[in-house]
Amino acid sequence: MKPEIIDIHPHIISTDTVRYPIAPQQGHRSKWSATRPVTFEQMIAEMDEAGVAKAAIVHSSTTYGHNNSYVADCVAIQPKRFTGVYSFDFLASDALKTFDYWLARGMGGIRFFTGGATHQGDGSWLVNPATFPIWERCAEIGMTIVIQTTPAGLHMVAELAQRFPKVRIALDHCGRPVLEEGPPYAACAGLFDLAKYNNVYLKITPKTFELAQAAPGGAEAFFPRLVKVFGADHLAFGSNYPASAGPLKKLIDQGNACFASLSEEDRAWVWGRTAKILYPTLAD
């Protein structure tokens, strides 16, 4: 039986630059958003073609900065099929007010960047106490926080997971694991150590597929190990489309190939069940 597929990491870009002006963070627009943008309507068509039931659409900060309006407007059209994962200035004095504004406009999760975007710093702001009120609010209402970081930032993820045990943390691109040496993946010790925190989840994207397929042992070795360490109920699929070149169906096919060595039950968790834990509105 085919599992239900829920994509927790697609991006959408509008063709209407008047209503939704291009204003990327730090002024550096992502190349993919400029060269292969996909609108909400196109995303729906691709989801239908690929057999993707629902999605948590991730706002493109490298296109729109802190203005989440395009995703918010689109989520409002089909709120039972979509939710939004938004970004804003978490260090601003009015961050909680901004939080409430976007919460009322379909925000189902929020996303922190410490690395991997078009503009990178040391990411130390992630553990700045000024952001803690946002974490506390997420703990109160059961909202997931997504973190994009490199292996160098995993110690901060551990610190936050311990400080805020009631907040579900989803780690973008599986924390960008270092797999070149193959099993037993000694370079992933820091990543695997996060499994001791029950509130840490990993987002498996095409970037993860590519790393696993290129590593010694291939995907058939890495993904069963990941399930063994974290449990399939802490792993979820995100297409990263169109930042990862599509079409979307091709990325789903790549995932099916990478997950072939997993049990049917484990595949069901990774493809859709874990997504419903991270984004409860998609479980209805």
Q: Is the pLDDT of residue 119 over 80?
A: no
For helices 219-230 and 248-258, what crossing angle results, to 10°? 80
Q: What is the pLDDT of residue 259?
A: 98
Both tokens assigned to 4: 């239900």
Distance CA 238, CA 5 (A): 10
Both tokens assigned to 202: 């990993």
- Domains: count for the chain: 1
Q: Is the pLDDT of residue 218 over 60?
A: yes
Structural domain containing residue 41: 5-283
Q: What is the dihedral of CA 242, 244, 250, 252, to 10 degrees?
A: -90
User: Between the CA of residue 181 and those of 176, 186, 210, 216, what are the distances in Å?
Assistant: 14, 8, 15, 7
For 21-64, the pLDDT digits (tens) are 999 987 889 999 999 999 999 999 999 999 999 999 999 999 99
Q: 176 falls in which pLDDT band (50, 70, 90)?
A: very high
| Average pLDDT of the segment spanning 256-274 | 98
8 Cβ partners below 8 Å, 6+ apart? 55, 56, 58, 85, 170, 203, 236, 237, 238, 275, 278, 279
| CATH code at position 219 | 3.20.20.140
Distance CA 123, CA 188 (A): 20
